[in-house]
Structure 1
């Protein structure tokens, strides 16, 4: 999706009149440009800080030279470039289609024939790249654009000549984890065979909707790429043999790109009509948008629909052009059609948080809550919904507030389709200015792209996998701690409390990729930081090997234990350890905090620890915590549940930053994108920790924020009891030393 130019954007680069923004990243901004003759181009303009770096200019010039050397119908050609200009730029042919990542996120996996056409044409393109003596090194869904006649490979920003090592640092990983080869993951030079491995990853993603080595933290992805077999269960059986050859660990055993092209062209020789209808519609919409643009479109403030701040108030990020009324109506209709009956698929809760004594003329906005129905998500959804209502109450109680807030709750069914439907419903409602959620990983993965396409800011306080920025780099945020990072804090808990020793770790893959991420990092931290031995045991999904894994570790004489798996398996492990008389320290994975583990494990669960970013605010003594607990009891009649404080903090942070984006005294509506820009820079002091976001919009505290805001809970007398933050436990240990 493109967006209007901003007042600070240039109107022309060389022969190209700039019309729209196509995207932005760490390197620069990409614009849609048009020559006087009407040719459209994607014009990449480099950020000033990079342009001031002579080394960067040299690399940029090299990128241009490399890209010019490839001539293939399925590689986007370079039209013009100037690496020596005051602001370096590169223009390539404009392909009015979504990336493969966008298409799969919006509509799911490609049909088998479409994937074969995709693979055959991309393999042919890579064969040309390799014949020119180049290695692309970053073949991934985001670098593949879809067009009616076939895909286009883009971005030679990290391509290298096959014999060039001058700019390659030994041991440096270059590429995108999850779509790079084992040799790249080990920091070794990439070859043509590395591109073939990446192509195999792309085709597995296109056929199944997920990368073959899962998702999550980069370190975990690199580990799985090197050591694990690819997960191809969701890939059609006929495609698996070729994919397994492409995904071979040893480069010499993979087919060449030309071999892959020949094989797939035999299966799907014609590209005509290759795209499924839903993706073809995306391509048509992008093409229509490009054709509808005038040759010269002045930058103006959209006072009604976008509600941007007047120039001089909040800067150029808050000002956009006014789209035509017809375009707005068409966009709204498209979103409603995309929802596909979201009102019936999702459970709509009545709007809550209605203000009392509303001032005449004061605007009212809606805070959406994207929850998930069903018992599996109740641990997160209930507290998040109740936190949003309390946050709205707190805002509406302010006598000098500039607007009122109501809460609207929609619940998906925990699957990708209904998650997208809920997101489409929220984005179609212009009164919705921000969304709290989604609450679980599946929904977050599916919905982020929808929110990002509409520029609607949403923040999840309960998800912890950090790759959503790939499809929604400006609108999606996470205020919850990273799943894998919490594994490091298990090791720190052991260190500060003297509970180190020979650790047995069971990685029960029935718990999903979260478990794999945590287990890999815990073993590494235990061995590398603590200097103690860690013995990992992996339990495959849909097996009953957990009992054998625990038995094996007990026989090995471990003195500490971590079972990282789902609730049922962890309860069983607790009983097994208790029966064996094991009394060393024991840890469970963090998502079991607040579950029925203490009740179900009974006496066997006593003494188990869980290290998590979720605080029990009733155990905190600060004024903020006491005020929150009192307000929660008044509003809901109970003590705050696990995950309530973090959701409340997130909702209050959203409303605080939104209030700063509302154009004061103008009657204009705020620009949706302005809130995302503010959230990226926000600093907010919550009940138990400060909040800030990193480069990828992930929770990223500074200083001792991790230690201050990570809590240890112990099962005692049949319930979870908060023993303190890691900082508090460390201080207590030092005081008693």
Structure 2
């Protein structure tokens, strides 16, 4: 539609359920967020009545820190709610972009939100759906949004609310009507997220989050001292024991109704200013006081999915396929030399998804491409990829992920120099990989490289990059020898094989039926298979599970004999860390023998060849791998949305990891604050100590360059219907 209830619709906004949100201009010229509520809610008489009551109550809320709806209609065919529009980022976005807020800033935010909730409750309203994405960060402080809707949904059709901040009484009785104490519990979750960067009960999957809320204590391990007791009180399982909003101001030490705003850190001020300077179509840029330059007042609201980030972007030109051994085009923004419409800042991480938002901040029109920076210099990020060989799908996905991150950075961050991408193809050939590494290493503008794609290219490339002193972030190769001299500049941005083995052991120990496990070492897949089998063997609790090892020599072709030997040894489960074709052969033999116990494969089996070759015998096999499936992972929904819009396709394997690696590089460069591109050694030093909460996993490194992010970074997949289904995180925890 182009018009609704006297509002001119400018475009659709991403939004969390329920309904569809539009950016609209009222008849009086004010920008609004217009939410249209669909069936089954709008067809439900009780909903319409509750919606009318909630909207009327919300309009009585008068608070500097809360945004009330201004209009609604329950009598029309389409039920809708109009709220003022603010061009500000939400809390989930800001935390994902810059990390947790300082303790004192978190305290100020908590006090102002408590003050807003006190006003909401005094009006007879319960928010019932407070998340980090419902909190906008305006120049002077937070704004609580989303009033008057969630409470009306209870008892009126299937309830769809983000689970991450639900109180136990909401998670356990989804059809019950919530009381004010649920908002205090949610505020505790929001404050945890604000000062730690994560949620106290996790972000996904939804069912697991609900279970933790109902059965486990909140994880407050890294909440700063001075806020721990306050947040812990908010998260009490008994609603009667939680503090009231009025009690919270006293605990937080701030006077309600005070005129002082929140003292944001400088980078948050900059993010808010940049967001306000980016105007949607037909809207003049907003001033710091919320007034548009055209004179209309644009005070506002936006939930985590629609805080002024309208997807008014064209898909843009898709990067072309490069020729073998040649440079591909540099980033599209630089190549076109004109302002690219709709450059984006994607704010990643589990917190954004958990908050119920898409996690994407559209930045309006970007600056013109090309080196318009003050110095005229350019820092290049090299992408060393297989774009024409056996791993071309992975190489291209990594390239697109890197391009997306660099384009967003170029559109939203002004440095004294430009940042761009240079891509070279090694075709999956180890000799060519060494040549590509030499070529990128010889280019003085290249300050870091992401790649290579394939296992066979990894070592010759890494050795050359070390000789050139060039930081190398390796994503998909599994193993590098533990040789600090040969790989001094390597940052291995994924869990290695031994770390993933801990996820396998964790899974086995969680199954009380498993007493003996077959461990198949495929010598044709060395060294990875041997490392995996030895790691599983060493981590098993021998008092609970007995390992039954079997070695497949190179050239062996007797899967039936292997299966018979394992079954004769009385196995209850089997782990195969070898090639996809070898796993498929054993799967068929085990299925023919009637074995249906747990069957687990390593990442080499996460290829189409496995289910295609094994057929029905592949059903139920689990695969552990160090890459996310962004199209199916809740924490990656924002990345997937932007990727689809930018490239008009689904993100391929390792695309999110490529995006994260590029973000780590550009954010590190930004934080270094140099007037010219930093030299390679300085950048390497800073990358070694850098941290990023990425789309796929946290990124941080140990002194030897290995990933150092605890038990995160591996994922489970299961074969169903001949396809791999993403199950979620695979904790890599020791027994």
Structure ranking higher on relative contact order (CA contacts 8 Å, 6+ apart): 2
TM-score, normalization by structure 2: 0.48
Query: Which has more helix, going by share of residues?
Result: 1
